[in-house]
Structure 1
Amino acid sequence: MTDEKQTGNKTGDLSEVIGDGAATLGNLLSAFQTHMAGITKYTTDFFIPYVLAVNYFQRVESTRLYKENPQDSKDAYMGLLENNLELMTRSLDGSTQMMLAYLQNEVDGFAEAAKQLLFDFNFSKMKTFTARQADLMNSVVNGYPEAIAAIEPEYGFHFERGEHAKVDETDRFLLYRIAPSLPNVETRQDAKPVLIIPPYVLGANILGFLPGEQRSYAHCFANQGIPTYIRILKPFDATPALQVMTGEEDALDTQRFCETILKSHGKPVTLNGYCQGGYNALCTLLSGRLDGLVDAFITCVSPMDGTRSKGLAHFLSRLPKRFNDLAYGTKILPNGNEVADGQLMGWVYKLKSIDQEIPAAMFFRDVLMFARSKPGAQKVNKTAAALNYWLQNDRSDLPMEITRISYIAYNTPITSDGCLPLGLFGGKLDLNRIKEKKIPWLICYGTHDDLVEKETALAPLDFIEAEVTPFPKGHVAIATSWSAPDSACALHTRFENGKYRGPVRFHMDLDDALTKKSSLGANTKSSKSVTTKAGKER
């Protein structure tokens, strides 16, 4: 009886071992297959712009190569090879670092499972470990894209829904007034208005990030009852006037919108540019077209002198001069208009940070995000999903002349007397004009911004005075993390013991000052009127 029982237990143990072993093998195969599918997808997404770049390069060089001096061409190509080898080295280093980080995160679990397997011939922990790996790979390759696609209804402004009033338009832009996202907030018609100029490359929706979660830069203003306006590009592919827009036309459209807003509210506008939008707004302001219309200025993470950039400017400086040319990123549309390829422009920023943006590094970074999440926690939070939706979808081609403005700003510094390295309407753009017009300027930057570094954003301080507010984190944190009203650096508050104020608080304080000034003026006028009447009676 005892022998039969023991035989039965051995048979049961053996069956369990075989079952666990088979499950472990199945998990390994599943994890490997999903991993390969993920790496393939990440690599494809990265190299599509590379194929575009090669096509543009071949198109330009097919004519330029035969016109250049052979020795100059040789030197240029050797310089390009050196630059490519440096990118390859950084790519390998970045990929290795992220894979090592992933392995370090998982090594304890693997060691425990391997120990049990080797010494006890028990597959249970190895089965659990491999099941975790299969689940991690599936989460990154399948679950993550599903979560990103699902966030679309909550992300951005969705002007097509009619929630925000269209106030004006030109051949190139639409002007919308942003409605508050909080139900009990009404826009104050007599309040000082703000006009937001979004970036061309990043798109406008990053400034309307997740309104339902109260994470939206534009809604931070609107939810304080501030008349909040935003300038929106018309559909690029269907708007030829936008495709060939010049810097002067950009300025004139902003002028028209400021006139419309001033007429509606009776108070001058606060002009607020984000990233590239801040530089274009500055150009318009310095051109004199906004005199009498704008009396305050806010810029957030805006590149004011790109030559001071440690990242992008350094990357551009390493390129042979011959290849640092917009021609290599020029796309010719079916109607013959030449524009800057937005997909390629975004890829340039990836090349700048190639050690972080190479496919293998990105893949294992995403795997680590899931691996480090707490048990039972939501696998993909809305912020991560919305950020990735933005990165994947909010890319548009750019007008060539607008791209040229940014190109000049990243290759030519502000002059020693404070003039921007370009002009509008045949005149200089002198920073000292801000001081002459007594326009208060708030400059906000990200302390860990590797796209528009502190030195790049604060360049005007070498020539004029401006208020400065640093925000923790990176390039879009002001529009995402700190747009939450209960965050540590909420935009409508003062923070760090009152040392700094957010852009919304800056605007609100200006509005309060205008209101007090108007009230004092009204009281003085009323007092004079009473005195005159009393004098007549006497």
Structure 2
Amino acid sequence: MYPLTSLLFKPLELTIRNWEAFLNSINAASLYWRGVLDSNRDFVNPWLTAYSYFLREEMEKLNSGRVSNPASYASLVKMSTDRAMAAWEAVMEKAWAYHTKELFRYLSLSLGINGNGNAVNAYYSELMQALRTEVIDMPAAVKDIRREYGFHLESDAYVKVAETERMELYQVLPNARGVKVDPSMKPVMIAHPYVLGPNILAFLPGEGKSYVHSFANQGIPTYVRIIKNIDENPAVQTMTGEDDALDTRYFARILVKRHGKPVTLNGVCQAGFIFLADILTGRLDGLVDALITAASPADGTRSPGLKGFLNEIPRDFRTLGYSLKTLPNGNKVVDGQVMSWVYKLKSIESEFPLVSFYRDLDTFQEKIRKGIKLISKTTAAVGHWLLYDRTDLPLAITELSKISYSKPISRSGDLPFELFGQKLNLHSLTEKNIKLLICYGRDDKLVEPPSALAPLDYIPGEKTEFPKGHAAMFTSWSDPKSEYALHKRFQNGQRGPVRFHLDLDKEMSHSSPHEKVA
């Protein structure tokens, strides 16, 4: 009886499956187009903002009788066309590869080559799950991770030590079981990048992935210097390189008095470059004896990717005026959204939204087939950092970085700008006996290795290469169990930043165990 019953109900079963597959395909198409539209929003919105700034600047030029060279407009049109074509070709290449692969998968399953009667249904179910993950679940996970991601300075895990009009200094307490701060150790002051905020430095403390806790969990007196909210603090909006140096000196004096030893400065990304300039002013003499830079540009002209892109921009349009936002109080700041968008333009072949959309969709489908968790906390936290942590920048600070990408360090070792009306020469690091460690990412596309390592052409210092890209030191390698954990020595004899600092403290304790800094 069973074969006969099965034969009688087979057409009904196939019909139900076909309807399920049809409905799933409709839902998948709806999610697909929603994802396509959503993915472009983060690119189009800053583009519209940048375009409005461009029109504003051009109108001001026109009203003041200053007109850009017609050849510059022609070059700008050509550059824009080239960027658009590069984006279009990248999208077409990615879309063709993805849809061709998926078409062959679908045909092989629907014709029964690699599947069974449920194969088509399973295919659409997988596609639905991947699309739902990318379009709905991922944005929700990015918002939810905020409870675990970054600094929560209101908690008892951090202690506010000092502040100025522009900055606050917090001590980071250990979160590893049984670890206590050793106040007799050498203190470290860590500074975050201006444009992407402090939270990358306390990535996921509860998961053991936190750059600042990598120091604190070794018992090191660890302090983080945090820039106040630029929207709420006029002093931040107008701050200069001189202000940065003076605030750093104020904090360093407090730490030397607390711990009796000179401070190690550790600047991340742009902050490493600013810390270098601070030391070269001489305002930190007797207070700071070591500098660690992490993924920091020292000479932007040695960054082939970004420098090449900036050279494409006609000279008439290379001013920061095209990225300035005017605040209600009249102060002008550099729009962080526009600056981030400019970096996407540089790598538009990989950063254009639709390219990322197809790349992520393919990744989620592959994870589904392998039974891997689709959204990890690390993935969500990186998404939060990139999406929500962008902030506006002080004009004068951004101008320093702009100059460094326009003019190289001189042959005699002078930085391409002055602070306090004086030249900033790299050789003074050697004269001041400042220990230098440069940490960089081997595959960093934002701060390319030649840019980070530039000071070593002029002065002695150490370098440590980390695998992966710009954020790896603060995410993957901040895990103390990882292969390149920051407190380790590596096979090539190089030292992570935490190990470098620990060794400095050990050397200081052995050479002058009773000596205190005045």
Bucket of the pairwise TM-score, normalised by the shorter protein? over 0.9
* Worse-matched range after superposition: 124-133 or 33-42: 124-133
> What CA RMSD, in Å, does the superposition of the two structures yield over aligned residues?
2.0
Match of 2:40 in 1: 43
Match of 1:531 in 2: none
Query: For 1:130 and 1:74, how far apart are their aligned partners in 2?
Result: 54
Deviation at 1:160, TM superposition (A): 1.9
The answer as to whether partners of 2:157 and 2:175 remain within 8 angstroms in 1 is no
The answer as to whether partners of 1:187 and 1:226 remain within 8 angstroms in 2 is yes
Query: For 1:474 and 1:5, how far apart are their aligned partners in 2?
Result: 60
Secondary structure at the aligned position of 1:116 is classed as coil
Structure 1 residues 95 and 266, CA, compared in 2 at 3 Å: closer, same or farther? same
Match of 1:114 in 2: 110
* Worse-matched range after superposition: 204-213 or 512-521: 512-521
Matched, 1:484 2:440: no
Query: For 1:363 and 1:493, how far apart are their aligned partners in 2?
Result: 37
Match of 1:474 in 2: 469
Query: For 1:51 and 1:520, how far apart are their aligned partners in 2?
Result: 61
Give the counterpart letter for 2:21 in structure 1: T
Structure 1 residues 123 and 23, CA, compared in 2 at 3 Å: closer, same or farther? farther
Query: For 2:61 and 2:270, how far apart are their aligned partners in 1?
Result: 31
Matched, 1:315 2:309: yes
Query: For 1:276 and 1:101, how far apart are their aligned partners in 2?
Result: 37
The answer as to whether partners of 2:268 and 2:296 remain within 8 angstroms in 1 is yes
The answer for unaligned runs of 5 or more in structure 1 is: 523-538
Structure 1 residues 101 and 268, CA, compared in 2 at 3 Å: closer, same or farther? farther
Match of 1:216 in 2: 210
Give the counterpart letter for 1:96 in structure 2: M
Matched, 1:85 2:87: no
TM-score, length-normalised on structure 1? 0.92
Match of 1:385 in 2: 380
Query: For 2:388 and 2:204, how far apart are their aligned partners in 1?
Result: 15
Identity of aligned residues (%): 44
Give the counterpart letter for 2:177 in structure 1: P
Match of 1:55 among 35, 52, 55: 52
The answer for unaligned runs of 5 or more in structure 2 is: none
TM-score, length-normalised on structure 2? 0.96
Secondary structure at the aligned position of 2:513 is classed as helix
Match of 1:336 in 2: 330
Matched, 1:509 2:506: no
Deviation at 1:221, TM superposition (A): 0.3
Query: For 1:414 and 1:521, how far apart are their aligned partners in 2?
Result: 37
CA deviation vs aligned residue, 1:281-330 (integer Å, no higher than 9, x gap):
01100000000000011001100011111221111100001111100000
Match of 2:299 among 305, 313, 321: 305
Structure 1 residues 160 and 102, CA, compared in 2 at 3 Å: closer, same or farther? farther
Give the counterpart letter for 2:409 in structure 1: I
The answer as to whether partners of 1:24 and 1:123 remain within 8 angstroms in 2 is no
CA deviation vs aligned residue, 1:454-496 (integer Å, no higher than 9, x gap):
1110111221111010000000101111111111111001012
Matched, 1:172 2:173: no
Query: For 2:294 and 2:60, how far apart are their aligned partners in 1?
Result: 41
Query: For 1:31 and 1:218, how far apart are their aligned partners in 2?
Result: 43
Deviation at 1:108, TM superposition (A): 5.4
Matched, 1:94 2:90: yes
Match of 1:184 among 158, 178, 186: 178
Give the number of the structure whose alpha-carbon radius of gyration is greater.
1
Query: For 1:451 and 1:479, how far apart are their aligned partners in 2?
Result: 15
Match of 1:462 among 447, 457, 462: 457
Match of 1:528 in 2: none
Secondary structure at the aligned position of 2:49 is classed as helix
Query: For 1:5 and 1:432, how far apart are their aligned partners in 2?
Result: 89
Match of 1:534 in 2: none
Deviation at 1:149, TM superposition (A): 1.5
Structure 1 residues 290 and 5, CA, compared in 2 at 3 Å: closer, same or farther? closer
Secondary structure at the aligned position of 1:500 is classed as coil
Structure 1 residues 394-409: aligned runs within 5 Å: 394-409=389-404
Query: For 2:127 and 2:386, how far apart are their aligned partners in 1?
Result: 26
Secondary structure at the aligned position of 2:27 is classed as helix
Match of 1:278 in 2: 272
Match of 2:356 in 1: 362
* Worse-matched range after superposition: 278-287 or 99-108: 99-108
Match of 1:199 in 2: 193
The answer as to whether partners of 1:192 and 1:227 remain within 8 angstroms in 2 is yes
Give the counterpart letter for 2:470 in structure 1: H
Deviation at 1:519, TM superposition (A): 3.2
Deviation at 1:96, TM superposition (A): 2.7
Query: For 1:265 and 1:98, how far apart are their aligned partners in 2?
Result: 56
Structure 1 residues 100 and 225, CA, compared in 2 at 3 Å: closer, same or farther? farther
Query: For 2:100 and 2:155, how far apart are their aligned partners in 1?
Result: 47
The answer as to whether partners of 2:189 and 2:265 remain within 8 angstroms in 1 is yes
Secondary structure at the aligned position of 1:494 is classed as coil
CA deviation vs aligned residue, 1:26-76 (integer Å, no higher than 9, x gap):
111111100111111111121110110011011000121465676x53211
The answer as to whether partners of 1:65 and 1:73 remain within 8 angstroms in 2 is no
Query: For 1:170 and 1:163, how far apart are their aligned partners in 2?
Result: 21
Secondary structure at the aligned position of 1:424 is classed as coil
Task: Tell me the matched-pair count.
Answer: 515
Secondary structure at the aligned position of 1:372 is classed as helix
Deviation at 1:100, TM superposition (A): 4.1
